[in-house]
């Protein structure tokens, strides 16, 4: 089992218990404010929480926070950028992977040198996904990754995520799109009142 979550909770949400296999996608839907983003932040250990998570059988409590977050990568709905250009956010060993991913999301390498502020919202969102995938995560936590994208870019993003899932990455996807949930997810859960329920609404 890739991810085993047991009694994960914070003062604001939970407890949550579920499991996710390698090479599978769990989609989570629900109204705004239900606690979906809170769950993702707890899974990557950004918000205070209790409970235990196992990654390929290894407990999160036995890892440092940077070690955990290198394998369980969280991409928020509005990703942060802290350097002037998109390309400056990548490490040298990631560049080959970045150049493999760019055309799959209809992006050109020249965008790496543009100031982030000059990129469109959709370009930033797709570039953030490349930044996340360049880490080669075992588990990717995505919060509305296609919210700002046109239909062609949505299709390209979904196709890329399907390939990554087929290559053994596990994905937890927060989405308001029932069609996207059906396209990508093998398992679906709904968040209501900060509690998880099996199935789509």
Q: Where are the domains of the chain?
A: 3-198
* Whole-number pLDDT of residue 150: 94
- The reply to whether CATH 3.20.20.100 applies to domain 3-198 is no
Would you say 89 and 75 are in contact if contact means Cβ atoms under 8 Å apart?
no
Instruction: Kindly tell me if the per-residue pLDDT of 201 is higher than 60.
Output: no
* Whole-number pLDDT of residue 192: 87
Q: What is the pLDDT of residues 32-65, one digit of tens each?
A: 888 999 999 999 999 999 999 999 999 999 999 9
CA distance 88 to 81: 10
Buried b (16+ CB within 10 A) or exposed e, 6-23: eebbbeebbebebebeee
Q: What is the pLDDT of residues 158-182, one digit of tens each?
A: 999 999 999 999 999 999 999 999 9
């Amino acid at each position: 089992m890739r991810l085993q979550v047991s009694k994960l909770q914070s003062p604001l949400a939970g407890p949550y218990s579920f499991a996710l296999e390698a090479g599978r996608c769990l989609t989570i839907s629900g109204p705004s404010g239900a606690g979906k983003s809170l769950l993702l932040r707890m899974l990557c250990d950004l918000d205070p929480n209790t409970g235990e998570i196992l990654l390929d059988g290894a407990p999160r409590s036995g890892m440092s926070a940077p070690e955990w977050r290198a394998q369980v990568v969280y991409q928020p709905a509005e990703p942060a950028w802290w350097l002037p250009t998109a390309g400056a956010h990548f490490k040298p060993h990631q560049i080959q992977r970045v150049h493999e991913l760019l055309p799959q999301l209809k992006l050109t390498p020249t965008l790496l040198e543009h100031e982030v502020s000059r990129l469109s919202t959709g370009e930033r969102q797709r570039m953030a996904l490349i930044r996340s995938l360049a880490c080669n995560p075992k588990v990717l936590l995505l919060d509305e990754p296609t919210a700002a994208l046109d239909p062609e870019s949505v299709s390209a993003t979904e196709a890329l995520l399907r390939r990554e899932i087929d290559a053994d990455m596990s994905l937890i996807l927060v989405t308001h799109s029932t069609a996207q949930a059906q396209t990508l997810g093998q398992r679906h859960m709904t968040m209501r009142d900060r509690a998880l329920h099996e199935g789509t609404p």
